[in-house]
């Protein structure tokens, strides 16, 4: 997804030269005698100086992905090990700790994966680490139809819930691992050419691991891309790539953009406007009818989505673009895509809020809108896995708030505790049952007491939810939605 919906606080990028040196002897002086500059090659690993979110110097281990020479000065493109790729950057020689350099392992043959050559034969061995939430087999899994009592519902008798023995609750599962919700046990052998946009990471090479666009100008915003995007090769050397904010066509220069704007008559995305409330609108775009716009949208989105791949065949997809209106037109804020026909109940393939609009509630609004469409379709839905770290943050938050809103709104009958089943929660919210169960377990709400499941709302959970809902000002109004679902299985061709 994005899938990127809201950024991690403090996780910024710095250009070479912005990071000051750490206290102590300069890194270049301590190791230059042991390892001359000319010996630093692709695949080497060594500590690199960077600033963390607390504005403190640190020396995380990084891998050299590429080396280039500009006017006799070498620059090194580094990937910080165990950090998200959006923090990758070009650094100068002064920021390298050459004393602790690790040279690539020499191998007789190029390593292969699924019969395909690896991205770089000399690189140190890398493993895909997957974090999994562990639920002990001794912990009972709630039935989807068995009612669970909600305790307590009213009064001041709320109590904190002690963690059940055998249940390990991840404290950092939201923002560290892109594949933390991947349902598969391993990397798929090959991606589907239609339908899923999940990337097959085994085909990554040195080109796609590096950011290739320096800067994008979109309307009144300048965006710094996070990841590689397959724009034409001749555009990757430009200091700025100019995009029309209405049709998303790209140009080499500001003059090209200005000439295009005199001819472009679009002031909103193509397609049908299916929702409008205040300045917020949603447009439904068919990937077959508006192929050019859909392809340009995918190119732009790939700059900020690492875990999705891009295919130029956009026919099997619908795109829902959220815009903000002013006197100049409808400006793109974010979007999500979905398959016209999904055999796995996916209601979102890719989802993205553009960086200038992040941390303002638009991410949850996109998610809420996707579930509102599922309600109209009479289905339950789930986002395509794996979610990105930022996408997982937003979905966990949305699921938690939506489910807690249902539980806290239950009324007790004849003095008994209110009861509700997993199926009922799923039907009310259109959230898939598996996501409901995982969210209840994540919140540590499910307890087994005297032969039945109870959902215990602690004081901290209730207070935290009430504070969060006070901040959530943007909501979808179902009365403003004008949407008629289509049965794509009966259509001869999309």
Could you tell me the CA-to-CA distances from 4 to 226, 306, 326, 399, 476 in Å, in that order? Answer: 10, 9, 25, 17, 20
Rg from Cα positions in the chain: 25
* Greatest C-alpha distance within the chain: 82
Distance of CA 243 to the CA centre of its chain: 23
DSSP code at position 160: P
More confident residue, 137 or 83: 83
Q: What is the mean pLDDT of the chain?
A: 78
**Whole-angstrom distance, CA of residue 154 vs CA of residue 414:** 13
Average pLDDT on 130-159 reads 47
Query: For residue 62, is pLDDT > 50?
Result: yes
In 317-428, where do the E strands start and end?
317-326, 329-339, 346-348, 350-353, 382-383, 419-420
Query: For residue 19, is pLDDT > 90?
Result: no
**Whole-angstrom distance, CA of residue 431 vs CA of residue 186:** 26
More confident residue, 380 or 176: 380
- Residue given tokens 């716009």 in the structure block: 293
Query: For residue 196, is pLDDT > 80?
Result: no
Query: For residue 147, is pLDDT > 70?
Result: no
Q: Give DSSP secondary structure letters for 56-85.
A: -EE--EEEEEEEEEETTEEEEEEEETTS-G
**Whole-angstrom distance, CA of residue 300 vs CA of residue 218:** 10
**Whole-angstrom distance, CA of residue 45 vs CA of residue 361:** 39
Query: For residue 451, is pLDDT > 90?
Result: no
Average pLDDT on 74-90 reads 92
- Can you give the pLDDT at residue 32? 36
How are the residues of the chain apportioned to helix, strand and coil, as percentages rounded to the nearest 5? 25, 25, 55
Average pLDDT on 13-33 reads 41
Question: Which residues are part of the catalytic machinery?
Answer: 384
H or E element, residue 284: strand 280-286
Provide the pLDDT confidence category of residue 241 given band limits of 50, 70 and 90. very high
- Can you give the pLDDT at residue 136? 36
- Can you give the pLDDT at residue 158? 40
267-412: which CATH topology? Answer: Aminopeptidase (3.40.630)
Query: For residue 133, is pLDDT > 70?
Result: no
**pLDDT single digits (tens) 395-412:** 999 999 999 999 998 887
Quick check: do 44-100 and 267-412 share a fold?
A: no
- Can you give the pLDDT at residue 78? 94
Query: For residue 475, is pLDDT > 90?
Result: yes
> Percentage of residues in the chain with pLDDT exceeding 70?
70
**Whole-angstrom distance, CA of residue 154 vs CA of residue 372:** 29
Please check whether residue 341 is in contact with residue 316, taking contact to mean a CB–CB distance below 8 angstroms: yes
Q: What is the CATH number of domain 44-100?
A: 2.30.30.140
More confident residue, 192 or 71: 71
Query: For residue 172, is pLDDT > 90?
Result: no
**pLDDT single digits (tens) 373-389:** 999 999 999 999 888 88
Query: For residue 198, is pLDDT > 80?
Result: no
**Whole-angstrom distance, CA of residue 29 vs CA of residue 19:** 17
Average pLDDT on 66-84 reads 90
Could you tell me the CA-to-CA distances from 85 to 63, 88, 226, 263 in Å, in that order? Answer: 11, 5, 7, 38
**Whole-angstrom distance, CA of residue 451 vs CA of residue 178:** 38
Residue ranges per domain, the chain? 44-100, 267-412
- Whether cis (ω within 30° of 0) applies to the bond prior to 386 is yes
């Amino acid at each position: 997804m994005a899938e990127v919906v809201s950024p991690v606080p403090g996780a910024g990028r710095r250009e070479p030269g912005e990071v000051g040196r750490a206290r102590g002897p300069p890194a270049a002086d301590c190791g230059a005698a042991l390892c001359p500059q000319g010996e630093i090659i692709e695949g080497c690993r060594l500590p690199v100086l960077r600033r963390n979110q607390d504005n403190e110097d640190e020396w995380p281990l990084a891998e050299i992905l590429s080396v280039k020479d500009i006017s006799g000065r070498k620059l090194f493109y580094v990937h910080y090990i165990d950090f998200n790729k959006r923090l990758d950057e070009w650094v100068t020689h002064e920021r390298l700790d050459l004393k602790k350099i690790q040279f690539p392992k020499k191998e007789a043959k190029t390593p292969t994966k699924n019969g395909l050559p690896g991205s770089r034969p000399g690189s140190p061995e890398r493993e895909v680490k997957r974090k999994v939430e562990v639920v002990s087999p001794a912990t009972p899994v709630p039935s989807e139809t068995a009612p669970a009592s909600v305790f307590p519902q009213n009064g001041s008798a709320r109590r904190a819930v002690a963690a059940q023995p055998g249940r390990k609750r991840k404290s950092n599962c939201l923002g560290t691992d892109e594949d933390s919700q991947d349902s598969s046990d391993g990397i798929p052998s090959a991606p589907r050419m239609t339908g899923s946009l999940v990337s097959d990471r085994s085909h990554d090479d040195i080109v796609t691991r590096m950011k290739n666009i320096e800067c994008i100008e979109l309307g009144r915003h300048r965006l710094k891309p996070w990841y590689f995007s397959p724009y034409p090769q001749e555009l990757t050397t430009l200091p700025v790539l100019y995009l029309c904010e209405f049709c998303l066509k790209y140009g080499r220069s500001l003059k090209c953009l200005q000439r295009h704007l005199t001819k472009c008559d679009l002031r909103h995305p193509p397609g049908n406007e299916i929702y409008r409330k205040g300045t917020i609108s949603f447009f439904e775009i068919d990937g077959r009818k508006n192929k050019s716009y859909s392809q340009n949208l995918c190119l732009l989105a790939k700059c900020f989505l690492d875990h999705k791949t891009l295919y130029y065949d956009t026919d099997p997809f619908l795109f829902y673009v959220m815009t903000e209106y002013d006197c100049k037109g409808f400006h793109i804020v974010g979007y999500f895509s979905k398959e016209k026909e999904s055999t796995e109940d996916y209601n979102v393939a890719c989802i993205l809020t553009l960086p200038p609009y992040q941390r303002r509630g638009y991410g949850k609004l996109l998610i809420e809108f996707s579930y509102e469409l599922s309600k109209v379709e009479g289905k339950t839905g789930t986002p395509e896995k794996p979610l990105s770290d930022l996408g997982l943050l937003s979905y966990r938050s949305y699921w938690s708030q939506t489910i807690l809103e249902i539980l806290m709104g239950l009324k007790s009958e004849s003095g008994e505790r209110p009861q509700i089943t997993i199926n009922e929660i799923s039907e009310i919210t259109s959230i898939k049952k598996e996501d409901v169960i995982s969210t209840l377990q994540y919140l540590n709400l499910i307890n087994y007491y005297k032969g039945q499941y109870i959902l215990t709302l602690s004081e901290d959970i209730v207070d935290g939810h009430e504070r969060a809902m006070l901040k959530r000002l943007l909501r979808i109004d179902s009365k403003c939605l004008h949407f008629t679902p289509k049965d794509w299985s009966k259509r001869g061709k999309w």
